[in-house]
Amino acid sequence: ISMKPRIGIMSRYLAKDNRFVTKAGYIYAISAVGGLPIQIPIADVADVDAIAGMVDGIIITGGADVTPLVYGEQPVPAIGPTCGANDRFEIALIHAALAKKKPVLGICRGIQVINVAFGGTLYQDIPSQISRDICHNQGAAGTERTHSAAIEPGSYMHGIAKCDTMLVNSFHHQALNTIGDGLKVSARAMDGVVEAVENADGSVFAVQWHPELLYAENPEHRAIFEAFVKRCAAK
C-alpha cells in the first residue's frame, strides 16, 4: 500500500468528447514531488464529503469561466462559456475539504472558485473590466513565463517562492475582485491583478498562473507542489 499522500486532482467534463479529462501537467507535477495523483470527476454534489474523505488534499485545476450567478452577479457580454454544475460541485468540495482540514491548492480557475467559495467575487473579463495594461492571456507556450508577480513579504507564498518577484505564465481573462473572508492576497501582477491568495495558515493556497507547466525548469514553481504535498502528508 502506497504511503504517499493522496492528492485529488479535479478533472473537467469535455462535452464534445463525452469525457472527463485532467491535463497531464498536474499529474506529472504531483508525481514528481512524491504525491499520489488521483483524478476526481465532477460528480454528485451529495458525494463531496465522501470524496474529500478519500484524499489527503485537493487541487482545484484550471478550466472554464465561473458563472457569476454563484456570487450574485449577471454575466457580462465578454464572459466565456460556463458550467454552473462544475462551479457548484467544486465550491461544495472546497467546503467539504475545509471541514475535514484537508489542504486545498488552487490553480488558475481554481483560485477563482476558491475565492468564490470563501464569499469573494470575480472580474468576469479583465480587458473590459480592469485594464489592458498587461496581457494575462498569453499567446506564448505554456512553459514561457510572460509577466511578473510581486510576492507579499511575510506571506506563505513568499516562504515558498523565497523571492520578492517571480515570473509567471498567464492564461486567464477572469480575475479576483473582492477577496473572500479568511483569504488574503499574496501576489499581484504589476497592473494590480491578483495572482495568488492564501488563508491564515496556508492550508488553502492558490495561484492564478499554471505552475504545472513551469515546475520542471523553475524551482520556485516546483516549490508550490512540494509545499502542498508536504502539507498533505502531515495530515
Taking residues 81 to 100 in sequence order and writing x for each that binds Mn ion by CB under 5 A, - otherwise, the string is --------------------
> Which residue's CB is nearer to Mn ion, number 12 or number 173?
173
Rg of the chain taking only CA atoms, in angstroms: 16
* Shortest Å, Cβ 32 to Mn ion: 24
Question: Which of residues 136, 158, 173, 210 is near Mn ion by CB under 5 A?
Answer: 136
DSSP 152: P
Applying CB under 5 A, the span of 74-82, 112-120, 129-137, 153-161 interacting with Mn ion comes to 129-137
174 binds Mn ion (CB under 5 A): no
Find the residue with minimal CB distance to Mn ion.
170
Give the nearest distance from C-beta 159 to Mn ion in angstroms. Answer: 21
Q: Kindly state whether residue 188 participates in binding Mn ion, applying the rule CB under 5 A.
A: no
Kind plus residue range of the DSSP H or E element containing 59? strand 57-60
170 in contact with Mn ion (CB under 5 A):
yes
Q: Is 89 helix (H, G, I), strand (E, B) or coil?
A: helix
Closest CB 136 distance from Mn ion, rounded Å:
4
Nearer to Mn ion, 121 or 174 (CB): 174
Task: For residue 36, give the nearest of 47, 46, 28 by alpha carbon.
Answer: 28
d(C-alpha 35, C-alpha 43), whole Å: 23
Q: Which three cell numbers stand for residue 82?
A: 460556463
Sheet holding 194-199, edge to edge: 36-40, 6-10, 57-60, 104-107, 204-207, 194-199, 183-189, 147-151, 165-168
Give the nearest distance from C-beta 175 to Mn ion in angstroms: 8
Q: Please say if 210 is a catalytic residue.
A: yes
Strand spans (E) along 12-146: 12-14, 19-21, 36-40, 57-60, 104-107, 122-123
Would you say 194 or 232 has its CB closer to Mn ion? 194
Q: Return d(Cα 66, Cα 116) in angstroms, integer.
A: 9
Task: Confirm whether 108 is a catalytic residue.
Answer: yes
**Site for Mn ion, rule CB under 5 A:** 136, 170
Residue numbers annotated as active site: 108, 210, 212
